[in-house]
Amino acid sequence: MYTEFFINTHSEEEIIDLTDEVEEIVKKSGKKDGIVHIYVPHATAGIILNESADPNIKTDFLKALEKIVPKHAGYLHDRIDGNGAAHIKSSIVGSSITLPLKDGKLIIGTWQSIMFCEFDGPRRNRKIIVQII
Ligand code: ZN
């Protein structure tokens, strides 16, 4: 079963919790067992699993990535559209996660949330694809 939905981002860099949206899609699907694949088809965004309860973790994560991949550090791609760092961060973070589905329930850690990472916002209509296999 294939589903997609869209979100708008509001900052240059932002982490947005998508757990409720994904759990709702899983619930509506009626599927009981399998694999839930969540994929972000964007070259300057990504998706992670981590804690959402403490919002400081999102800030810490973005700050840590900034230290590894500072903006405008001489990237060749910056000559085209100025977002070389965002492309590298997207590659480091990755574009998909896969979670088990058991007895109709998404298996995810108590302190894990599914979170979209914006690295070149703000943007409209960032697409998230959820496929249950
Ligand atoms: Zn670019």
Q: How far apart, in whole angstroms, are the C-alpha atoms of residue 86 and residue 70?
A: 10
pLDDT band of residue 81 (cuts 50, 70, 90) is: very high
Q: Encode 2-20: b = buried (16+ Cβ within 10 Å), e = exposed.
A: ebeeebebeeebbbbbbee
Q: Per residue in 34-59, pLDDT tens?
A: 999 999 999 999 999 999 999 999 99
pLDDT band of residue 79 (cuts 50, 70, 90) is: very high
Ligand 1 center to 131 CA (angstroms): 27
At 73 the three-state DSSP class reads coil
**In contact, 107 and 38? CB cutoff 8 Å:** no
Average pLDDT in the chain: 98
**In contact, 116 and 106? CB cutoff 8 Å:** no
What number is the average pLDDT over the span 10-22?
98
The single-letter code of the amino acid at 7 is I
Ligand 1 center to 13 CA (angstroms): 15
